Structures are given as structure tokens and as C-alpha cells.
Chain A
Amino acid sequence: MFELKDIIYKDILKIDHLHIEDNKVSILTGESGSGKTTVLKLLNHLISPDEGTVLYKGKDIAALDPVQHRRNVVMLQQMHAIFPGTVKDNLTAGLRFADQAVPDDQLLEEALQHVHLRKSLDTEADGLSGGEQQRLALARVLLLDAEVFLLDEPSSALDEETADEVIAGFLKKVKQKNRTVVMVTHSKQIAERYADVPVHLEEYNQKSKDAAHER
């Protein structure tokens, strides 16, 4: 799905080669500072590398339409963003951003069920707890008709048990549609349980290898 070649990004990344497979759940792990978030941002084209190329389905990302690319390869950031308004407003925000049709309430409620969030659609979103907001942000992404889902620490605000349920629910839904997932997590349990392809980023990133040597 993705191919990173001779990538250099600031002082953070130096990756000679990294391949990310289609229709699989790849889980990126590594110390903080090993460049996990940066890799996701490169795949989403939220940033461009200083050197090297990122290929998406064999095509150079730098030559694709950036907005269209992000609609195909959506990303959920680590510090989830909650927009002003209700749960429904937040659920449908991604669809509105991507000019996709907003489905009826039943589908929206189903998305909430997949991430185990039991809240009504007209609840004010900023009154939710951190963990609830994180699940809401995850459900928002789940509603998008994307080919790849990039998730940065999607369960960091959840306790172990909830995290497990939520990630399982999300991945089940995504796998039904044969989509690709690239996830960053600190949770060993989630990485072991759900990774089709574990990617230990320190093995690929020359910069973090150097940093490890210095330690």
C-alpha cells in the first residue's frame, strides 16, 4: 500500500526503506521520539519529507492531489479534536469535510456502538469525558469511506479493558470492508493481539537507532 524510500525528515526520521501492506493491520511501536507520529503524518501527507519519496499504491504522494489523498487515507490524531456542537455534529464532521453524504441517524448510532460509546446523538460533545471524546473521534473516522485508516494512539485515554473492546470493534468493522489500518500504540497488549504486521520503528529509523546508541 505504502512504500517509504530514503526518507529524511528533520532530525526525526531517516528511513531507507519501509513497506506497509494492503488490507492488513500494521502496528507501529517504538520508544517515544522514534518517529511514529511523523510516519503517520507522512502517509497522510500532512507533512512532506525533506528528502526521499512516499509511494501510495505505487504512485508518488507528492504528485497526488493532497486533499483527495487525505480522503482516501484518513488520519486520527493522538490528541483527539472535538469540534463545537453535539455528538452528531462531531460524528458527521469528517463526512462534511470530505464532501460525503451524511447518513441517517441509525447508521450514526451504529458507529457509536462499534466504539462502545453509549451516548445519544444530541449530547453536547464538550461535556464528554476524555475517554468518551476519544471514542467519538474514532467513530467519526470509522464513518468515512476511506481506503486506509491511520490511527495515532487511538486508545490512550481508555482503560485496558475498554481499549480492547473499542479497538476490537473498530478493527472488526474495518476488516469487513477489507481496509488497511496503520496504528501507533503504546499498549503492548493491543499490539500483540491485533497486529497482522508488527512494525518496530526503531529497526527502520536510523535516527532513533543513533539516539539509542547515545543513551
Chain B
Amino acid sequence: MNDKIIDISLWQLLSAYLFIVVLTVIVKWRGIAREKEIIIGTLRMTIQLVLAGYILTYVFKHPHPLLTLFIFALMEIFAIYNVFKRIKYELSSSLKKVIAFSMTVGTVVSLLFFNYVVIRFSPWFEPRYVIPIAGMVIGNAMTGITLGVNHLVEGMEKQKRMVEAALMLGATPKTASKELVDRAFDSAILPTINSMVGMGIVFLPGMMTGQILSGIAPLTAIEYQIAIMLGIAGSVSFSVILFVQYGYRTFFNERSQLK
């Protein structure tokens, strides 16, 4: 058995774009106006990944603490910006601050623990570890927080009457919004829990697939996958609980009135 991965030739890779051609033909035939998005999506995916490939090659060859930190900061900023963009509602500036705060604190604390207590690599800035792990942790926290924000803002809008009714009877803002806050938290962590349930049976996660393809023994790949799943669950719940705990307060003023 040859455990070296097959290098895909340019022609082989190009042939994979046939999938997109088929997809485009289908949407055209059905009259679903999505061609533009499909083409933009495919192009962006290609360009971004090629760039990432070159950048990672450079960074892995020239590891430097500042470079690792810079890339990490860039990922964090991009993720926070992406949360803002994916929310369907107008966000107050104080809620935006809470989002940025909980994303940053939630992911940084989880990563510190994951990298230096669970995996323990050195040097501490080793980009081969820091960057992919940060990508997974930040990406999942981003999805979780997006869901949490959407549910919290929507709940505050739709259930305003309930919150108001509770305030009128002398509830603190915390009690008045407890149910909403709990539901927002629950909906934000549910996808992570569900993906753990299906893992290994319904699908092999991307990281593991990549490692197995590149010749790493499945058992080693699984060790990493288990660790990273736990890390993801931790960082999602930590970021989201920070978000909801501080987020609901932005809907009230200092006189415990709804803004």
C-alpha cells in the first residue's frame, strides 16, 4: 500500500469543476436565478484557497510569533465582521461591542487551553498548529454566536410584550429576559451538539478526512478529531454564554426600562 497521497494534476483538478457546470445547468433549466451566486462562490472559493495555500506555505516555512499573531488577529476580525454581516437585524453599537468581546474572549481562552494544555506543542507560535486549530475554533464560535444573536434580537422584538409585562410586575431585566436568553443559548449550541451526535457515522469531518488522505493513521486522526470537537464545543458554549449574559443587558437602560 502506498501511503503517500496522490498529487492531483491540474487537469484532474479542472475536471472537478464539471460539478459546478452541472449545477449551473440545473439551475438554468429549472429557472432558479442563482447562476451569479454559484459562479461568484466558486470563483471566491478557488481564489481564496489558492491564496491561503501560498500564504500558509510561506508562513510554515518562516514561522515567527508576530506573523502567527497577526494572522490570528486577522481571522478574529474577519469572523466578527462576518457575524455583523450575517445578522438580519439592525444591531446597536453596544450589542456589536458585546459580540466582538465575547467572540474574542471566548475563542482566545478556549485556544489557550486547547493549544497549551491539551495538545502542548512548541514553540507556542508554531503556525502549523495554531492557524488550522484557530480556524476551526473561531469558525464554529462565529456560527454559534450568529445563531445566538439572531435568536436574541428576534426574541426581544417578538416577545417584547412578555418582557414588558414582566418588568411592569417588578421583574429585574435579568428575570424578564431569562427565557429568551436561555432559548438563544440553546439554539446557538444545538448544531454543535448535533454534529457530535452524527460524527463518524453520518460524516467524517473535514479535518479528519484531510489527515487520513494525507497518510496519517485513522486512529491518530481520530484522536485529533475528538480533541478538536471538544474544543469546539467548549469555545462555542463559552463565547455564546458570554454573549447572551452581556447581550441582553444592551436592550435595557440604566433605569431598567426597555430601550
| Residues of A in contact with B (beta carbons under 8 Å apart) | 44-48, 62, 66-68, 70-72, 74-77, 79-81, 83-84, 93-94, 96-98, 137, 140-141, 144, 150
- Some 24 contacts from A to B, beta carbons below 8 A apart, are A45-B255, A45-B257, A46-B168, A62-B255, A66-B255, A66-B256, A67-B170, A67-B172, A67-B256, A68-B170, A74-B168, A74-B169, A74-B170, A77-B164, A77-B168, A81-B164, A84-B179, A93-B166, A97-B170, A97-B171, A97-B175, A98-B169, A98-B170, A140-B169
Interface size in chain B (residues, C-beta < 8 A): 18
Shortest Cβ distance from A71 into chain B, in angstroms?
Answer: 3
B164 touches A46 (CB 8 A): yes
- Of the candidates A48, A98, A141, the one whose C-beta lies within 8 Å of that of B257 is A48
B255 touches A70 (CB 8 A): no
Question: Is B167 part of the contact surface with A, judged by Cβ < 8 Å?
Answer: yes
- Known contacts: A46-B257, A67-B256. The answer to whether A81 contacts B165 by CB under 8 A is yes
- Known contacts: A77-B164, A83-B162, A97-B176. The answer to whether A47 contacts B257 by CB under 8 A is yes
Q: Is the interface of B mostly helix, strand, loop or mixed?
A: helix
B176 touches A66 (CB 8 A): no
- Of the candidates A45, A84, A98, the one whose C-beta lies within 8 Å of that of B171 is A98
Chain B residue nearest to A47 (CB atoms) is: B257
How distant is the Cα of A158 from the Cα of B132 in the complex, in angstroms? 64
Residues on B with beta carbons closer than 8 Å to the beta carbon of A97: 166, 169-171, 175-176
A44 touches B168 (CB 8 A): yes
Shortest Cβ distance from A61 into chain B, in angstroms?
Answer: 9
Residues on A with beta carbons closer than 8 Å to the beta carbon of B255: 45, 48, 62, 66
A67 touches B257 (CB 8 A): no
Question: Is B4 part of the contact surface with A, judged by Cβ < 8 Å?
Answer: no
Residues on A with beta carbons closer than 8 Å to the beta carbon of B171: 67, 70, 97-98
